[in-house]
Chain A
Amino acid sequence: MSALGELGSLRGKKPVGQKKDNLAGYLFLAPWLLGLFLITIGPMVASLYLSFTDYNLIQAPKWIGLENFSRMLSDERLHNSLRVTFTYVFVSVPLQLTIALLLAVVLDRGVRGMAFYRSVFYLPSLLGSSVAIAILWRQVFGTTGLLNQVLDVIGIHGKGWISDPSTALGTLVVLNVWTFGSPMVIFLAGLRQIPTMYYEAASVDGAGVLRRFVSITLPLLTPIIFFNLVLQIIHAFQSFTQAFVVSGGSGGPSDSTMFFTLYLYDRGFGNFDMGYASAMAWFLLVIIGVFTAANFFASKYWVFYDD
């Protein structure tokens, strides 16, 4: 806005120009604004309304008040889907961020060919949530998949990892951890922001590698860690594609990969229960909102802003 204001003052007709410039500003915003209202806000309002209705996709929705929400209390498959989702989020996100941070630190130390490694490690992030990779995952962890072939060589007889309820979720966690590239790139950018003089001073004082990492890198990187944490948690809560494709759309075996989002989809489109599915979507929004708020609240105690 300030740049536009300066432009206006250059022309020398301040009040009118300001208005015109505002209009120009809104015009430039229009494509994004239209998208926001048509693709995001519109459907959101619609889904909020639908969450209070019984809507079977074909006939007009019927108002039923809070019934959808009270039904969630006794829906055991929904409870199971929450368990699965929470396990997924709280196992895969810390693992993913730890690996991302460690690799970023190693790469930041000036490894030769860093640009190459950076691209290689980043690649899975671009592909990770794609259908193609999920299909590949199915093959790798299948009964006769790549993993079992490798295990066979070293004499271990593997099993069907994605078709066993006790390991299926694990393969999805591995898939998510594998996409550590995007937080890693953000970590790398953060590491570059840390002034070298701190390290120089610490070295003069005789601090070793570990000490420098713990006392300088980590504290100065906390805003970035926080940023990545918040983003990846939200991202993990919303995971859908991987579980959908790997389980063939069923969330199976035995609902072991039935993410909340997948169950939402199953209710909405498999069971013609779009009212309930909409209520679930809003419930998920609340869950994510609560976790994000808690994250921001906790950040006061561990995130260090150097300003």
Chain B
Amino acid sequence: MRPHIRRTAGRRLRALAAMAVATTLLAASACGGDSGGGGSSAGGGGDVTLRFTWWGGDTRTKLTQQAIDAFQKDHPNIKIKGEFGEWSGYWDKLATKVAANDAPDIIQMDEKYLREYADRGALQDLKKSEGLDTGKFEDDTLKAGEFDGGLYGLNAGINSFAIVANPALFKAAGVAMPDDTTWTWDDYTRIAAELTTKLNGKAFGTGAPGTNEAALNLWARQHGESLWTQDGKVGVSPEQVTAFYQQVLKMRDAKAIPSAEAISQDMNAALDQSAMATGKLAMNWMWSNQLNAMSKAAGTELKLLRVPSVEGKASANGSYYKGSMFWSISSRSKHQKEAVEFVNFLANNTAAGNILLAERGVPPNTEIRSAVTPKLQPADAASAKFIQDIGKELGDPSPAPPVGGGQVEKIIQRYTTEVLFGRQTPDAAAKAFLDEVNGELK
């Protein structure tokens, strides 16, 4: 019922408004209380629980869980609790956990963030860890996780940036597979444009280079430069970034790549939902170890190709071996001994090797590699063979990103979007890109 007379309503409302404002204001600056992570590190009865975090899709999670189960069977006193998620979001979560003094004991680490964490003392120097066996590792593969005299990440697999192709779409378009040992950027663009035309809207020729920094690095290496220098600085010139973006625009204008919107949408898509996995691209840029997961997601056998080069020579395409990922141990882990035991198992145990196969890249432990090679599934076998085949053509290893370099992926994505949408010219974007990357280095 409506009141016919009201006296205090106005005053009350004013007080209510003031109160509501006060409480919401307070909440503004204290954003996000701690949800109180329950660190269940010390179980009862001498049992130890280790937390192990990794990024990756379905395939990896299943294999990793199997490896954990095998380890637990041999070590009934150690429990491994997996924490996993997609690449995007993984680093935010890890940073939050480390800041809250709640870091997982074993961390799957990427080259981009290795220095970031190690320099700040968040990672254990594995050289000082007792019982970690690296005897069967090739020197080069160990070096990838080594700096300032310490070993902060143990190589978990070798991969290389490559082009992945969908033979079914090539066939549907009636386009022959290119000879990847001799193809140039122009060949690559032409073939991709032809695919787009012949596939008639069903799919595009290729994804764009520049949705992460690896393609720019290859471009720089093909032009005698490199994204990072040995002493931790930016090594690519504005001219080459500009030229790289001009190449991207050339591909856009030839319709070799999809629309700017489609590319920007694909940048943060999970592997299983990406344009390559859903058959909307005939080719894309990808890390070689993802061949298996991507083939599974696409439901067809995909094929790896060498990246195109300026000169049309595979030995000049700038490719290099990269540690696809690393095993690191938190310096604050209370169970160093058990954590080392687990990393040892992942890296050196044949049973683990037989489960994990080459999903994280070709095993850097040579003994495991030869034991595993005959057992590889077709896609893993193909990526392992690819890694072996390009071995003779590789140039110098690529210097690891310096502290602050982890941001480069997000930055290049932003400027590639700017260029594709025509909001910035290649040279303006190149300059802004380099300014920003330089600004992030510490």
Binding site for B on A (CB under 8 A): 39-44, 47-48, 56-59, 142-143, 159-160, 162-166, 192-197, 223-224, 226-227, 230-231, 234-235, 237-238, 240, 247-250, 252-255, 261, 264-265, 269-272, 274, 281-282, 284-285, 288-289, 292, 305-307
- Out of B30, B99, B267, B407, which one reaches A270, CB within 8 Å? B407
Q: From B3, which residue of chain A is reached at the shortest CB distance?
A: A195
Are A59 and B265 also in contact (CB < 8 A) when A40-B30, A231-B24, A271-B407 are?
no
User: B120 touches which one: A59, A254, A289, A307 (CB < 8 A)?
Assistant: A59
Determine whether B4 belongs to the interface, using a CB cutoff of 8 Å to chain A. yes
15 other A-B residue contacts (CB within 8 Å) besides A42-B30, A165-B421? A39-B33, A44-B30, A163-B261, A197-B4, A227-B16, A235-B24, A238-B31, A250-B410, A250-B413, A252-B413, A261-B31, A270-B91, A271-B404, A272-B120, A305-B14
Docked Cα-Cα span, A252 to B9, in Å, equals: 46
* B399-442, CB < 8 A from A: 404, 407, 410, 413-414, 417-418, 421, 423, 440
Given contacts A143-B265, A196-B4, contact A306 B9 (CB under 8 A): yes
Q: How far is the CA of A58 from the CA of B421 in the complex (A)?
A: 38
Residues of B contacting A196 in the complex (Cβ-Cβ under 8 angstroms)? 2, 4
Q: Which residues on B sit within 8 Å (CB–CB) of A57? A: 95, 98-99
CA distance A282 to B7 in the complex (A): 39
Kindly list the 3 A-B residue pairs having the minimum CB-CB distance in the complex, ordered from nearest.
A160-B261, A248-B268, A305-B10
Interface status of B251 (Cβ within 8 A of chain A) = no
Closest CB of chain A to B27's CB: distance in Å? 7
Contact B264 A223 (CB under 8 A): no
- Which residues of A lie under 8 Å from residue B27 when comparing CB positions? 40, 238
When the two chains form their complex, are residues A195 and B6 in contact, meaning their CB atoms are under 8 A apart? Answer: yes
A162, B26: Cβ atoms closer than 8 Å: no
Tell me whether chain A's interface is mostly helix, strand or loop, or mixed. Answer: helix
CB-contacts of B127-177 with A (<8 A):
none
Closest to B415 in A: A254
Find the residue from B11, B27, B89, B96 having the highest chain A CB count within 10 A.
B27
Quick check: A58 and B92 within 8 Å, CB to CB?
Answer: no
Residues of A within 8 A of B31 (CB): 238, 240, 261, 264, 281
Bound-state Cα–Cα, A240 to B32, Å = 11
Could you tell me if B21 and A165 are in contact, using CB atoms closer than 8 angstroms? Answer: no
Indicate whether A289 sits within 8 Å of B6 (C-beta atoms), given known contacts A143-B265, A249-B88.
Answer: no
Also in contact, A270 and B9, with CB within 8 A (given A165-B423, A249-B89) = no
- Residue in A closest to B89 when the chains form the complex, CB atoms: A249
Partner pick for A282 among B3, B9, B11, B29, CB 8 A cutoff: B29
Contact A164 B28 (CB under 8 A): no
B26 CB contacts on chain A under 8 angstroms:
40-41, 44
User: Is the pair A288, B28 in contact by a Cβ cutoff of 8 Å?
Assistant: yes
Asked if B294 CB lies within 8 Å of chain A CBs, one says no
Q: Are A250 and B14 in contact (CB under 8 A)?
A: no
A204 to chain B, nearest CB (A): 16
Contacts of A226 in B (CB 8 A): 17
* Most-contacted residue by chain B among A254, A269, A305 (CB, 10 A): A254
Chain A residues contacting B30 (CB-CB under 8 Å) are 39-44, 47
Q: Tell me how many residues of B have a C-beta within 8 Å of chain A.
A: 57
Assess the A269–B17 pair: CB atoms within 8 A: no
Query: Which residues of chain B come closer than 8 Å to A264, judged between CB atoms?
Result: 31
- Encode B256-295 as 1/0 by CB contact (under 8 A) with A: 0001111011011100000000000000000000000000
Which partner residue on chain B sits nearest A240 by CB separation? B31
Using CB atoms, name the residue of chain B closest to A40.
B30
Q: Given A238-B28, A281-B29, are A306 and B262 neighbors across the interface (CB < 8 Å)?
A: no
The answer on a CB contact under 8 Å between B10 and A307 is: yes
Instruction: Contacts A193-B2, A248-B88 given; indicate if A292 touches B21 (C-beta within 8 A).
Output: yes
Closest to A194 in B: B2
* Interface: B121 (CB within 8 A): yes
Check A249/B421 contact, CB under 8 A, given A40-B27, A196-B2: no
**Chain B nearest Cβ from A72, distance in angstroms:** 14
Q: How far is the CB of A107 from chain B (nearest CB, A)?
A: 15
From the candidates A254, A284, A305, A306, name the one contacting B414 in the complex (CB within 8 A). A254
Complex Cα gap A164–B265 (Å): 9
Which residues of A sit under 8 angstroms from B91, Cβ to Cβ?
270
> Taking the nearest CB of chain B, how far is it from the CB of A34, in angstroms?
12
CA distance A281 to B30 in the complex (A): 8
Q: How long is the Cα–Cα vector from A253 to B259 in the complex, in angstroms? A: 13
What are the interface flags for B19-49 relative to A under an 8 Å C-beta threshold, 1 for contact and 0 otherwise?
0110011111111010000000000000000
Whole-angstrom distance from the CB of B411 to the nearest CB of chain A? Answer: 10
> Whole-angstrom distance between the alpha carbons of A300 and B68 in the complex?
67
